Structure 1
């Protein structure tokens, strides 16, 4: 059963004539008659009583008419939904991101997206890089922002940021007025580690600098990291993105050596279609990153 056959059937029912229906549909009457014979054969029942002056519906035809109309209406509604999503007039976009991205990069991007595409619903999930990847792979999230690596067999990736790490210290700290620091100078300090892959990068850098860091605390919450640093409980080695909009009580200091850098990548499922909404968001993220350079 084809949707166009339902349309033909309803037009004949409205016109009560194959001839008038064919004229209205701009098709040959024999072709219309053949389509209805095919439909009746598939349904296993006659739909029309073909009179000399008027065509009427059989009992089966009368029972079928409201259902055919409902099916066509549902198909049209489905077309509208797809069109709305394609034209960013509706739909929903789920974003998964690591905390530094969700706190420091996405707020302005989401605000701009909301102004441009107000009818698209947005949901933001804040996770570790591993959980971001899981959310995208499972289909819970449409697009993710994380610190690589990820499986190249599973994901499409696009690097959007390459950033250094910096040292966060309280302004009252001895290094609070320093412009740069070598990590080996911090061997006697207490460290507050930012959980996730950023932690692994910082820990490896400390070891390369010749010492095992003394860990005072670990947290996956950026505001908690900042509050603990401000309180003088330790120093934190964090990605530069996490040093944006710092409170006045904290100073970001450049790390001279060893060189520390990470990438942030947008990821989506390999072979998957990146939705129009996700494409629009990705363009805004790229524009925001370029503006921040």
Structure 2
């Protein structure tokens, strides 16, 4: 019996639905059904009663396994946390982050993480996306936050969320008071972005979004970081497209308006070097997800477009 099998079993046992459990596990239903059937064969007993067009029900053996599997998985999680604490005493978690994540998310996350893991040390530095990957290869950081959706085999990538884009507008812009804006409404505006050599993902995100909206953006000014970009917007010299988290940067003279186009999204990803994970990585990722969930729920309650938090 493998831990993976217990995890699959618990998902079905809790949801009493192979379809819902497969969705939660981010896998298709046939492999999940096969895994449960294999587990039943190994144990020599049925764990679920299955009937057409009705939800599966736990057998007596299934009830026993559910109770014990829950205890086992909790014990494994506690053991992993204890081991993480031991290693964290001597090994800090070094985090490289793009500026929007550093300013818009990590202050809250790091404070909460160090409060719940008082033995942990977290070191954070700001960098551009390409530099973060280079730092991972050199070993100067353990973990990076970027907006890449795919990456080469040297790295492990875990996508945490999908963020809507927001438009950064001068507060004197005619659309600054709108609740949402479509990109087509900005076709006559000048756009401000980064140099493509420094931040190809951010540059391409703006250009491709505008092209999809039916126009090629005019980009007369390039910024070196989020602060200079937003300061240039505040001067009234143009507009920009930025991820949701950038709206947490308080810059006087700038209004953030959510882009209404449903395809205007960008990934938020965590990346580390293959074969070199810091033991605190997943615990830190869980803290990030917890904070994103808080913000998502707050936005939904206010009727705003918000971040989509992806399962681990």
> What band does the TM-score fall into relative to the shorter chain?
0.5 to 0.7
Distance 1:211 1:84, change over 3 A: closer
- Where do 5+ consecutive residues of structure 1 fail to align? 1-82
Contact 2:234 2:252 in 1 (8 A): no
Counterpart secondary structure, 1:276: coil
- Residues 27-176 of structure 1 mapped to structure 2, 5 A cutoff: 86=86, 88-176=88-176
Rounded to whole Å, the distance in 2 between the matches of 1:243 and 1:262 is 14
1:260 Cα offset (Å): 1.1
Does the CA-based 8 Å contact 2:180-2:258 persist in structure 1?
A: yes
Match of 1:221 in 2: 225
CA spacing shift, 1:84–1:182, aligned 2, 3 Å? closer
SS of residue in 1 equivalent to 2:280: helix
Aligned-partner SS, 2:210? helix
Alignment counterpart, residue 292 of structure 1, candidates 295, 298, 306:
295
Shift of 1:254: 2.2
Q: Give the TM-score, by structure 2 length.
A: 0.61
Q: State the alpha-carbon separation in 2 of the partners of residues 122 and 145 from structure 1.
A: 14
- For residues 208-234 of structure 1, the C-alpha deviation after alignment (integer angstroms, 9 at most, x for no partner) is 233222223222422222222122111
Q: 2:278 aligns with which of 271, 275, 279?
A: 275
Is the radius of gyration larger for structure 1 or structure 2? 1
Aligned to 1:257, what secondary structure does the other structure show? coil
Give the drift of 1:123: 2.0
**2:239 alignment counterpart:** 235
Query: Which one is further off, 200-209 or 83-92?
Result: 83-92
Q: 2:259 aligns with which of 255, 259, 263?
A: 255
Please, what is the CA RMSD of the aligned residues? 2.4
TM-score normalised over the length of structure 1 = 0.65
Q: Shift in Å at residue 115 of structure 1?
A: 2.6
Superposed displacement of residue 245, structure 1: 4.3
C-alpha distance in 2, partners of 1:104/1:166? 13
Cα distance 1:194–1:164, how it changes in 2: closer, same or farther (>3 A)? Answer: farther
